[in-house]
Structures are given as C-alpha cells and as structure tokens.
Amino acid sequence: MREVVLSSSQICFRFGVSVGGELLCAMLAFPSKYVVLFGAFFSTVGAGLQSLTGAPRLLQAIARDDILPPLKVYTACHVYFALE
C-alpha cells in the first residue's frame, strides 16, 4: 500500500488523520467539537449492543430451521421465554 502524505492545508484520510490532526467535521461542529466525537462514540456503542441483542435470536432461528444440523443444541428454549 502506498503512503499518502499531504500538507496541513489538505485532508488526509489515512488512519483518520485530518487537518492539523483533528477531524474536520469536529472542528466545524457547534457548540463544541466534542459533540461529534461523543456522537460517533455512542453511535458505535449502540450498534455493538444491537448486534449483541439480535445475534442469539438469529442463531436460534437458524438452528430451528435446521439449516446447520450441528446448531440443533440451540433450538431449546425455556417456556418463560417462548414466543409461540
């Protein structure tokens, strides 16, 4: 991979480096640059939590449909949590 080096007046996207070492959109954010940084952080955390909550149901549905026979162990569900 070729290294791209730009002057401080140009934007460089390698490893998130930007103008003067700060994110351009964070520099333009109102009222503070931390609005964008906190928003990006919490958006990433939210997407991760959504994946953690959806994955078990997806795994159970794949096992219940017998798409992958070794996953048959995951078809069992406690009566309290049964949807049907």
The predicted-structure confidence for 20-39, as pLDDT tens digits, reads as follows 666 667 777 777 778 878 88
Is the pLDDT at 49 greater than 80? The verdict is yes
Is the pLDDT at 5 greater than 70? The verdict is no
Give how far Cα 38 sits from Cα of 4, 52, 61, Å: 28, 21, 35
Same domain, 23 and 35: no
Torsion sign across C-alpha atoms 29, 32, 37, 42 = negative
Same domain, 53 and 21: no
Q: Which residue segment(s) compose the domain that 7 sits in?
A: 1-29
Same domain, 35 and 25: no
Same domain, 57 and 73: yes
> Would you state the structure tokens that stand for residue 16, as one six-digit string?
């998130």
pLDDT band at 8 (very low <50, low <70, confident <90, very high): low
Is residue 59 classed exposed, middle or buried when 0-12, 13-18 and 19+ CB atoms within 10 A define those classes?
middle
Same domain, 22 and 8: yes
For 83, how many CA atoms within 13 A lie in the half-sphere containing its CB?
4
Count the domains in the chain.
2
Question: What pLDDT, on a 0 to 100 scale, did the predictor assign at position 17?
Answer: 53
Same domain, 42 and 19: no
> Would you state the structure tokens that stand for residue 10, as one six-digit string?
């140009």
Question: What pLDDT, on a 0 to 100 scale, did the predictor assign at position 47?
Answer: 92
